Amino acid sequence: MLRIGIIVGSTRAGRRGREVADWVHARAQGRAGAAYEVVDLADHDLPNLADPVAPMAGRYERPATLAWARAVAALDGFVVVTPEYNHGPSGALKNALDHLYAEWNDKAVGFVSYGMDGGHRAVEQLRLVAAELQLATVRNQVGISLRDDVDADGAVAPTEHPERQLDGVLDQVEAWGGALQGLRADHARSSA
């Protein structure tokens, strides 16, 4: 069975990312094609990119980087939950992506963004980063509006439209994640 990580892409106090990731996780439960788990960047002590060797070399020295590499390597695909800060993703998310290279390769990624206008500009930037990391981005995406998709108490409460969008993202991440498993297996056999 595929293992899909739902990455919480913000670490700041007062963030909405964990709440959005929990909504994604709840919606993904019970799907037959994959097991989903939340991967919270706040649980990984990643300083600004500090390893002395470029991540492409795969020679990680810092314990935090090694732990992050193991966590990412164990997954077959990702749903990245990203805020939009100043028309882009969070620095913590970009830093986490930049810490690794091979562990991202040939895996599927979908995006759930949030912000006052749905966070779509952050996703556009992340698609460029994902391409360089050899992540296969799926077409569908979700944009949560912090104006429209909250309840009277201010809690994230996506409407029917984002729920349908999320189902499309999960379908595509599972389809591409499954298709790319064979490619990763071929690469592992050829480099052994």
What is the CATH number for 149? 3.40.50.360
- Cα 34 from Cα 109, distance rounded (Å): 14
Tens digit of pLDDT for each residue in 104-159? 999 999 999 999 999 999 999 999 999 999 999 999 999 999 988 888 888 888 88
Give the SS3 label for residue 123: helix
Q: Pairing between strand 107-115 and 77-83? A: parallel
Q: Is the torsion defined by CA of 192, 108, 135, 139 positive or negative?
A: positive
Looking at the chain, the whole-number percentage of residues with pLDDT higher than 90 is 78
> Edge-to-edge, what's the strand order for the sheet holding 135-145?
34-40, 2-8, 77-83, 107-115, 135-145
Q: How confident is the model at residue 53 (pLDDT cuts 50, 70, 90)?
A: confident
pLDDT of residue 169 exceeding 90, the answer is yes
98 — pLDDT class (breaks 50, 70, 90): very high
Domain that holds residue 178: 2-191
Which string of DSSP letters, residue by residue, matches 132-184? HTTEEEEEEEEEEETTTSB-TTS-B---HHHHHHHHHHHHHHHHHHHHHHHHH
Q: How confident is the model at residue 52 (pLDDT cuts 50, 70, 90)?
A: confident
Q: Which residue has the tokens 């690794």?
A: 100
Question: What is the pLDDT confidence band of residue 90, given thresholds at 50, 70 and 90?
Answer: very high
Encoded amino acid at 115, one letter = G
Q: What is the pTM of this model?
A: 0.95
Number of domains in the chain: 1
Q: Nearest-CA neighbor of 43 among 67, 16, 73?
A: 67
- The answer on pLDDT for 191 being more than 80 is no
Please write the tens of the pLDDT for every residue from 6-25.
Answer: 999 999 999 999 999 999 99
Residue 50 makes CB contacts below 8 A (sequence gap 6+) with 62
**24 token code pair:** 């994604």
